[in-house]
Amino acid sequence: MELLLNFYVCVGLCAVGSAFIVLLPTVGQTVSCVWAVVFAEQGVAKIRGTRSDSDQDDHSSDLSPTPSA
């Protein structure tokens, strides 16, 4: 039982260490790359005079059902 517990502790410590050392820095890089791509696409759309693909339609005003009295 103690051998199994030691195995789980070692594997858990390796998992936490790899999460903080390897994965945490890549989250910031991924978010900054997505941010740069979105704003670059919006800038190109503005230069071309077209609608940006990242714009979202507002469907909240006209499609809401009217309550029946």
| Total domains present in the chain | 1
State which residues form the domain around 38: 1-47
The answer to whether residue 3 is domain-embedded is yes
- What pLDDT score does 65 carry? 59
The answer to whether residue 36 is domain-embedded is yes
42 CB contacts (<8 Å, ≥6 apart)?
Answer: 52, 54
- What pLDDT score does 47 carry? 93
The answer to whether residue 32 is domain-embedded is yes
- What pLDDT score does 26 carry? 87
**Cα diameter, the chain:** 70
The answer to whether residue 41 is domain-embedded is yes
> Among 66, 36, 41, which Cα is nearest to 54's?
41
The answer to whether residue 61 is domain-embedded is no
- What pLDDT score does 61 carry? 63
Residues in the chain with pLDDT values less than 70: 59-69
